[in-house]
Amino acid sequence: MTCSSPGGAKKTIRCAGEKRTRRPPGIASLALYAKTANESPLTFFSDNAKMNLVLAILRAFVGALLAAMKPRATLVAETLALRQQLAILRRTTPRPRQRPMDRAFWAVLSQTWSRWTDVLAIVRPATVIGWHRRGFAGSWTMKSKHLGRPPISAELALIERMAAENPLWSRPRIAGK
């Protein structure tokens, strides 16, 4: 029952002379959770949780539609990239490190597929670009290196010829000439 108080605010209190009726246990709790005609079956979710659920379902639906419209080569490249990342994460170490073959895979994929950054999750795209730059610089270093014995200078060739022509001469005599 609602009685007015001297301050004018309404409160639910027991007024004087009012009889208190005893309800069976459980009925009071049922009255608190009674559904009205406009409530949905998801009333136990908050409004924020409902919105997150609807957005997640919408994202999944839109993602499925977009995947159906992608060309087959793009889907194959995306699947390959995701599987490669899973293979790295399945390694037994707590924080798996990239092996040279993993780095080479991402360097090649970054040059052949334009949407490689969309599926990259384990490293930053700038890291992959750095791997590619280092690999490219390394290949030029290897190509510019001279393999084998360096060429013999003209002076050394003269000394060897003199030693072969005069086997009885010693080193100091050849060096003095």
| Percentage of the chain modeled with pLDDT above 90 | 0
User: What is residue 19's predicted lDDT score, i.e. its pLDDT?
Assistant: 56
Residue range 54-103, pLDDT digits in tens: 888 888 888 888 777 778 888 888 888 889 888 888 888 888 888 888 88
Question: For the chain, what is the largest distance between any 2 Cα atoms, rounded to a whole number of angstroms?
Answer: 142
Long-range contact list for 120-127, CB < 8 A, 24+ apart?
Answer: 120/81, 120/85, 121/85, 122/85, 122/88, 122/89, 123/98
Which residues are registered as beta bridge partners of 2? 12
Long-range contact list for 34-40, CB < 8 A, 24+ apart?
Answer: none
Residue reference for tokens 């949905």: 40
Closest residue by Cα to residue 131 from 160, 161, 153, 98: 98
Residue range 19-41, pLDDT digits in tens: 555 555 555 555 555 555 555 55
What would the two tokens of residue 175 be? 């060096």
Closest residue by Cα to residue 67 from 119, 134, 5, 2: 119
Instruction: Specify the higher pLDDT residue, 113 or 44.
Output: 113
pLDDT band at residue 166 using 50, 70 and 90 as cut-offs: confident
Instruction: Specify the higher pLDDT residue, 46 or 69.
Output: 69
